[in-house]
Amino acid sequence: MPAIILVGAQWGDEGKGKITDLLAAQVDVVARYGGGDNAGHTVVVRGERFALHLIPSGVLHPGTECILGSGMVINPARLVQELDGLTARGVDVSRVRVSSAAHLIMPWHLALDEAQEAARGGAQIGTTRRGIGPAYADKAARTGIRVGDMLDDKHLAATILARAEEKRPVLRAYGLPEPGVDAIILQYQEYAARLRPHIADTVRLVHQRLAEGKTILCEGAQGTLLDLDHGTYPYVTSSSPIAGGALTGLGIGPGHVSRVIGVAKAYSTRVGMGPFPTELTDDIGEQLVVIGGEYGTTTGRRRRAGWLDMVALRYAVQVNGITELALTKLDVLGAFPQIKVCVAYRCKGERLTDFPTDARTLALCEPEYETLPGWQSEISHVRSRQALPPAARAYVAYLEHRLGVPVRIISVGPERDETIVEARP
């Protein structure tokens, strides 16, 4: 009765969607455990591209049950849109279940996200402006509205009315207009009617499936370094993308977990603000963006790019308890005669090999690189590790040796089948 946790090992956009879709063929249930539609997970199947934001990336496999877990924040407008979009493309979404304990994103969360970013001036976080921070803040303050509140129209109306009342002074302080409560109630009652068939006690469902001997893949969103507790605070998201977040977000214990798969890009990217020691603002950085197609799935923003950061990755292995890695976008490095890997930081005259999570310290860190030979060839057609160019094989082996965890999946292109999967012992 295993659960497999799949977690982003960097700053998000590591290719979690692609790897989840790949593994979904072998599991019974795929469950998102945190975040909301700030996530953008891209899956490409036979040339068809799907951008998933709330619905787990297992939905493209007929028969796989999909769960939106209790740790998530749900914008119902977006969820309805995503369900309709998939239906229009012939995907059966009747297998999608949403936790009654997940929190709802309300119109005022979106307005506040926008206003708070504006108020930060030069110290912006660069949020996705999806209302994520304000929704999680209400959850923690116990002033949130949950998906389960949509099960009864009268109760929903009363709850929205009460919460909107509490928000009035906050909105006023930011110079935002009063919420049009009647319209919001009607709108959310419409969403409720649409979503009701999908609302469930997902904790009970997950445990039923585990008891039946089924396998659950817990799909992470965002990434380790965006974790509220363990990331580069305050340049983080407001949830727990790390493996621990899968346990709280879905209501399972650590004893159920058989594997923790860390998804890491063969280089680094970050979208939004915050320290990024290996960021390249030169031609190489530009090439990584262009060749890697590094534009956000959710906001279309250009991602910042740089070489792989082993200091950060070693930290991700630790805080998640990663048992194996899925290395993505190795094909992108095929353009470079030499490949650099950051093995330590120089900071205030000191050499650091442990990742400092304090953003101010991290901002002062200069990367110390080791240089490896590139392979300068196209590898997207390769389907076995042995068939990779020797320098590409050496790059993967170098990472395994340095990190002390095996790389079991190597992704060499966005398509589902552009993947090298190692047999597990």
SS3 92: coil
Question: Is position 34 an interface residue for ligand IMO (rule: CB under 6 A)?
Answer: no
Q: Which is nearer to Mg ion, 112 or 289 (CB)?
A: 289
71: Cβ contacts below 8 Å, ≥ 6 apart: 33, 34, 102, 239, 240, 245, 248, 249, 250
> Per the residue annotation, which of 21, 37, 41, 113 is the catalytic one?
41
User: Which residue is associated with the tokens 């309709």?
Assistant: 84
**CB 328, min distance to ligand GDP, A:** 4
Q: Return the residue of 4, 23, 29, 39 that touches ligand IMO, per CB under 6 A.
A: 39
Task: Choose the contact partner of 126 out of ligand GDP, ligand IMO, Mg ion, none; CB within 5 to 8 A by kind.
Answer: ligand IMO
Active site residue 13: yes
Nearest to 23 by CA among 216, 266, 224, 247: 216
User: What sign has the CA pseudo-torsion 46, 48, 263, 10?
Assistant: positive
What angle (nearest 5°) sits at the alpha carbon of residue 46, between those of residues 45 and 47?
90
| Other Cβ atoms within 10 Å of 146 Cβ, number | 18
Nearest Cα residue to 117 out of 104, 134, 105: 134
Interface with Mg ion by CB under 5 A: which range of 43-51, 158-166, 241-249, 294-302?
294-302
Active-site residue 41, yes or no?
yes
The helix/strand/coil state of 99 is: strand
Question: Contact between 82 and Mg ion (CB under 5 A)?
Answer: no
Rounded to the nearest 10°, the torsion over CA 179, 181, 184, 190 is: 180
Q: For residue 266, what are its two tokens?
A: 């063969």
> Nearest approach, Cβ of 17 to Mg ion (angstroms)?
7
Q: Which is nearer to Mg ion, 202 or 297 (CB)?
A: 297
Q: Which does 331 bind (CB under 5 to 8 A by kind): ligand IMO, Mg ion, ligand GDP, none?
A: ligand GDP
237 binds Mg ion (CB under 5 A): no
Q: Is residue 323 a contact residue for Mg ion (CB under 5 A)?
A: no
* Cβ closest to ligand GDP, residue 48 vs residue 92: 48
Contact residues: ligand GDP, CB under 6 A? 8, 12-18, 40-42, 44, 293, 297, 328-329, 331-332, 411-414
Under the binding rule (CB under 6 A), the answer on residue 184 touching ligand IMO is: no
Q: Mask of contacts with ligand IMO, 270-309, x by CB under 6 A?
A: -xx------------------------x------------
SS3 label, residue 419: strand
How far apart CA 268 and CA 278 sit, in angstroms, is 8
Residues found near ligand IMO in the complex (CB under 6 A): 8, 12-13, 38-41, 125-128, 130, 132-133, 221-223, 226, 237-238, 271-272, 297
- The residues carrying an active-site annotation are 13, 41
